[in-house]
Structure formats: C-alpha cells, structure tokens
C-alpha cells in the first residue's frame, strides 16, 4: 500500500466539508437528505480508510513528506504505534457521533454549516494523529482552533459568542507558548527533518549547555499545549464551550480538541524533548504539580456545578490531567498508563455527554435538579449513563478502573525509582505518590458528582422539598412525553457501554499494545 494513502484520511474530510460549505442550491445553502447521506458516507468512508491503513501495518516506517517549508521545517505524515492509538480512537468514535448528531440536529437550522465543519474537524484531528513532525503537529493543532470555533459559536446566542471568544483567546495564547517549545526543540534537534523519534530528538551534547533554558521552554510548551487539555489555570474556556450542541461538546471533551492537547503533550514529552533529558528535573516536578492541582480542582468544581453539561465539563478538566499526570511520570509505564486513560476516558466521557444530550433533546432539561424520575422514563439512556458513571469513578470491571490502576502503579514505580540525591530526590519520591492520593480524592469527588445525578434520576425527591422546587425550571412545551430517543442515539450509547465493559474485563490486548509503545521510549 503506497504511503500516499496517509494523506487521504486528512484531506478527504477537509475537502468534503469545504464542498458542503460552499455548495449553494438555489442561492442559499439548504439541508437535504442527499447532503445527510454525503456527510455520513464521507465519515464512514474515512473511518474505513483509516482501518485499512492500520491493518496494513504499524511499524513506524511508513511516512509521506508533503512538502518542506524551509530546511528542517517538514510537513510529513507518519504512521507509528503512538499515532495509531489516536487515529484508531478517532476513526471509531466519529461515525457513531455523526449518527447521534443526525437525530440531535434534526430540528436545527444551518445543519449544512454544522456538518461541514464537523467533517473538517475530523480531517484536522486525523492530521494531528498522523503528524510525523512537530511542525506538522503544530500546523494542524492551530487549524483545529479555526475549524472548531464555528461549532462552538453555532447557537449564535450571546452566551455562545462569549464562549467562542474565550476559546479563541485561550487557544491563541496557548499556541504562542507551544511555538516557543517548537523553536527550541528544532534549534537543538539532532534530526534534520524534525521527525518524531521515540526517546526524543534533542542533541543531548548541545542541549546540556543550555539545560535550564530548554527546561523552561518545555514548561512553557507544556502549558501552551495544555490550554486545549484544560490545564489549570487555562481551563475556563472548556466549561463555557458547553453551550455548543451536544454532538460538538461530546467530541470537544472526549476526542477532538482536548485529546489533541493531551496527545500533543505526550508527543512533546516522549518524542521531542525526551524523558532522558527531562526526568528528574525541576521542569518535571513543575508540570506534575500542575497536573495534580488540575485533577483536584476540576473534580471539586464539578461537585459544585448544577448545570449538567458544565458539570461534565469540569469532570473533563479533571480527567484530562490524569493523562497529563501519566505523561509527567516520564517512564515507559507512565506513557502506557496515560494512553490507557486517554482511550478509556474517550468512551466514558462521550457516553456521559451523549446521555445528557439525549435527555436535553427529549425533555429540554439541562440542570441536575430537573432530573428527578428521569431514569424511569429513559431507562436505556440512564442505564448507559450508569455504566459511564461507574467507570469514571474507577469501579472494578469498568474501563476507568483499569486506567486509574495503571496510573497508580506507574506513580509508585516512579516514586520508588527516584534515586537522585538531595532535595530533588526527595521530591521525586513523594510527589508521584502524592499523585495517587489526589487520584483517590478525585475518585471520591467523582462518586459524589456522578451519583448525585443517578440518585435523582432513579430516586426522585419528594414534591414537598420546597427548596429545590423554588428554583426556576424552564420546561419546553414541545416535550409532552419523555422517552428514550430513537436508535440513532441509542446505538452509539450502547456501543460505548459495551466497549467500557470489554476494556474493564479484558484489557490485556490493549495494555500489551500500549506497553510496546512505552517500551519504545524507555
């Protein structure tokens, strides 16, 4: 199979989305069944192409140089195991999310615009997954901001305008900091093409002379890419983005934007700077502390939040930094643990968001205190939400338990292996172990903010509870009878639930593959 096929999953959705966006019918853009079939067909075709590429072999030797900007500034697509994880995840989730979106968006205007940018976001996200150089990753990382901005803005309400501005401002600032890291990596790189290398691309002899300057550049780039991963204090755009339609917020929170930020940090740490250069340094403990603060902060804020989608957004803030915590452990097992949570969280969170969206679509209810008794009216939806909630809490036999267990093991391994002298050695021993305590605290908070929803849904409060009844409840007149949604929404939910359970009870094949990725950087 020619390596030129690596460009197809990136370009096909982008070109298809642009065609949908600029094709006019009778002087105006109209949505039709044919356009629906086109959008669905392109998404499915693209996922099948990705599946064929992955089936053709993942050895890291397949690459496609698109063009050179200047000298070592190369735009190149490459297929390695690391990229295959993200590409496979995106390709699996996007068709199911598109199916869900068809029912959710059926009464919305400007659906053509929505699905055009939805398609383009798919292609740009695949560009990040298949990026073979830091320049390529940065290029598509920037493009992701501009193709997802119209999706956040889609409702065109004052709240959506404010959310889109916050998203744009934070993203531009983050990109500036990430660019600093790119400049320093390329300036001290030993690789002429700036290609990602397992273990890092720095010329360690040259880098050692400017160690602190490079460590500072790494920290700045970590926070820069961390903007899209909602790292504290750069998280504020994410809860605001909950104003977007649920198919958008689900992909923003589970796959496209936030996972791209986490994925970029993994590439930056393990395939650009390299753990041989970073491990045991003040930069490692700085970014690890930031990840742990974000975990605790996000889960605590989720408990306080009463808007359902914003509660899930704060949950995402917390859970994304689980991945970043694994990245900052800077060990082969740490990378594997981070990737395992990236996979598990994608299914857990997209399922939770889709359950919330189904309830909003069928009943118009958006606040936690409005959900009394909804579990009996929508049994399949809340059954899927129960599985996602238990998994997010880290209950055994669910995917979340496996990923959190891996992170705890990797943390203890990192603490036990810290044998540096002086204060750095002391910090290296206790900080990773403190991370396990933070994960346990976050699990407790997760139990509170997820079980609150389930208890209300299955065991409604008595009507005489005046304190809750006095709160304003905006009921929609066009929701006379609340039931589970149609198969277009239920099929994705049931598939996600099945995957959560499969990973929970049989994670060995996945972990063996992820450990091989970790072994490459060790």
Predicted confidence at residue 454, as pLDDT, reads: 94
pLDDT of residue 191 exceeding 80, the answer is no
The answer to the question of residue 217 being in a domain is no
47 vs 106 pLDDT, higher one: 47
Count up the domains in the chain and report the number.
Answer: 1
Please tell me the number of Cα atoms within 13 Å of 362 on its side-chain side.
20
Q: What confidence score (pLDDT) does residue 478 get?
A: 47
Cα pseudo-dihedral 237, 238, 243, 246, rounded to 10: 150
Confirm whether 32 is domain-assigned. no
pLDDT at residue 233 tops 70: yes
Which of 114-118, 269-273, 297-301, 381-385 is least confident? 114-118
Phi, psi of 133 (to 5 degrees): -135, 160
pLDDT at residue number 317: 93
Q: What number is the average pLDDT over the span 479-483? A: 70
pLDDT at 497: 96
Structure confidence at residue 57 (pLDDT): 78
Contact 410, 331 (CB under 8 A): yes
- What pLDDT, on a 0 to 100 scale, did the predictor assign at position 22? 78
Residue 250, pLDDT above cutoff 80: no
Q: Say what the pLDDT of residue 472 is.
A: 44
Does 428 fall in a domain?
yes
Q: Structural domain of residue 522, as residue ranges?
A: 280-471+482-522
Give percent of the chain with pLDDT exceeding 90.
Answer: 53
With a cut of 60, say whether residue 27 has pLDDT above it.
Answer: no
On the question of pLDDT at 434 being above 60, the answer is: yes
363 belongs to a structural domain:
yes
Q: What is the DSSP string of 171-186?
A: HHHHHHHHHHHHHHHH
Q: What is the mean pLDDT of residues 352-358?
A: 91
Cα distance between residue 354 and residue 490, in whole Å: 9
Say what the pLDDT of residue 198 is. 85
Would 293 be classed as within a structural domain? yes
- Mean pLDDT over residues 425-444, rounded? 85
| Residue 405 binned pLDDT confidence (cut-offs 50, 70, 90) | very high
User: Would residue 414 count as lying in a domain?
Assistant: yes
Better pLDDT: 471 or 415: 415
Rounded mean pLDDT, 391-420? 87
295-311 pLDDT, tens digit per residue, is 999 999 999 999 998 99
pLDDT at 33: 62
* Full DSSP string of 118-160: HHHHHHHHHHHHTB-BHHHHHHHHHHHHHHHHHHHHTT-SHHH
Residues 319-330 have a mean pLDDT of 94
Q: Which pLDDT value is given to residue 467?
A: 44
Whether residue 220 is predicted with pLDDT greater than 90 in this model: the reply is yes
pLDDT score, position 466: 43
Mean pLDDT calculated for residue range 491-502 = 96
> Is pLDDT at 130 greater than 90 in this prediction?
yes
Helix (H, G, I), strand (E, B), or coil: what is residue 76?
strand
Is 388 domain-assigned? yes
Task: Check residue 469 and give its pLDDT.
Answer: 41
Establish if 173 belongs to a structural domain.
no
For the residues 476-504, what does the mean pLDDT come to?
Answer: 84
């Amino acid at each position: 199979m020619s390596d030129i096929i690596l460009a197809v999953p990136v370009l096909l959705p982008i070109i298809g989305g642009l065609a949908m966006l600029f094709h006019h019918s009778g002087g105006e853009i109209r949505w039709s069944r044919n356009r629906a079939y086109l959008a669905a067909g392109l998404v499915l075709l693209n996922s099948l192409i990705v599946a064929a590429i992955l089936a053709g072999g993942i050895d890291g030797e397949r690459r496609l140089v698109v063009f050179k900007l200047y000298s070592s500034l190369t735009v190149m697509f490459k297929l390695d195991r690391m990229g295959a994880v993200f590409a496979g995840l995106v390709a699996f989730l996007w068709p199911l999310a598109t199916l869900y979106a068809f029912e959710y968006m059926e009464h919305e205007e400007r659906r053509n615009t929505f699905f055009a940018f939805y398609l383009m976001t798919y292609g740009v996200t695949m560009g990040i997954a298949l990026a073979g150089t830091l320049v390529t990753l940065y290029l598509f990382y920037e493009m992701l901001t501009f193709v997802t901005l119209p999706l956040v803005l889609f409702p065109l309400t004052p709240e959506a305008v404010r959310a889109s501005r916050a998203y744009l401002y934070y993203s531009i600032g983050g990109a500036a900091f990430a660019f600093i890291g790119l400049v320093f990596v390329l300036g001290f790189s030993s690789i002429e093409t700036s290609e990602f290398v397992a273990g890092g691309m720095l010329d360690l002899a040259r880098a050692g002379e400017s160690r602190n300057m490079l460590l500072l550049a790494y920290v700045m780039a970590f926070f820069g890419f961390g903007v899209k991963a909602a790292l504290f204090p750069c998280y504020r755009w994410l809860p605001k983005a909950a104003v977007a339609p649920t198919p958008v917020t689900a992909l923003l929170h589970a796959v496209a934007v936030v996972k791209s930020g986490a994925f970029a940090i993994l590439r930056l740490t393990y395939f650009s700077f390299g753990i041989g250069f970073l491990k045991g340094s003040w930069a490692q403990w700085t970014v690890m502390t930031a990840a742990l603060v974000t975990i605790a902060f996000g889960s605590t804020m989720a408990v306080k939040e009463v808007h359902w989608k914003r509660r899930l957004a704060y949950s995402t803030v917390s859970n994304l930094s689980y991945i970043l915590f694994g990245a900052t452990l800077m060990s082969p097992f740490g990378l594997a643990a981070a990737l395992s949570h990236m996979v598990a969280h994608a299914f857990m969170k997209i399922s939770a968001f889709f359950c919330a969206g189904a309830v909003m679509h069928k009943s118009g209810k958006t606040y936690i205190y409005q959900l009394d008794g909804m579990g009996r009216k929508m049994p399949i939806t809340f059954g899927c939400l129960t599985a996602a909630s238990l998994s997010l809490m880290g209950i055994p036999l669910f995917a979340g338990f496996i990923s959190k267990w891996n992170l705890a093991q990797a943390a203890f391994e990192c603490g036990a292996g810290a044998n540096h002298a002086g204060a750095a050695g002391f910090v290296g021993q206790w900080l990773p172990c403190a991370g396990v305590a933070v994960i346990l605290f976050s699990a407790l908070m997760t139990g509170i903010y997820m079980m609150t929803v389930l208890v209300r849904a299955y065991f409604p409060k008595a009507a005489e509870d005046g304190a809750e009844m006095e709160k304003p409840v905006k009921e929609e007149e066009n929701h006379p009878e609340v039931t589970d949604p149609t198969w277009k929404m239920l099929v994705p939910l049931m598939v996600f639930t099945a995957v959560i359970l499969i990973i929970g009870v049989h994670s060995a094949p996945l972990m063996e593959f992820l450990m091989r990725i970790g072994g490459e950087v060790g």
